[in-house]
Structure 1
Amino acid sequence: MSVKQLIRTRSGEKMTSLTPLKAIRAQCLECVGWVANDVRKCSSPKCSLYGFRMGNLK
């Protein structure tokens, strides 16, 4: 299941189709300044999305 959503990207805004996990990943990327490696190194374990940031619950 995916939903069309307007998201912010490194180069501006874009309309895209997002699954729930892709939406979480997009939010995490925005949070860390669009540096993909920094999503893995996230230092905010109290964030409600923290457990889902790598595509699964850990």
Structure 2
Amino acid sequence: MEDAPARVAAGKAAGCTVIGITSTHQRSQLADADACVSSLSELRRFLTELLSDGGLS
């Protein structure tokens, strides 16, 4: 989980799945993330759904 474009890019460069959180940057600035959420509570819902669905495609 990252909140800055440079950190999203670093995670992707390392081969990681990256979830952007729009706490300090807008969703458009985190567009390279595999997914974006707007809050930690949304992250919890996202991860719960992700685990029940079998992961990111």
* Superposition TM-score, scaled by structure 2 size: 0.32
Q: Which has the higher strand share?
A: 1
Q: Which has the higher helix share?
A: 2
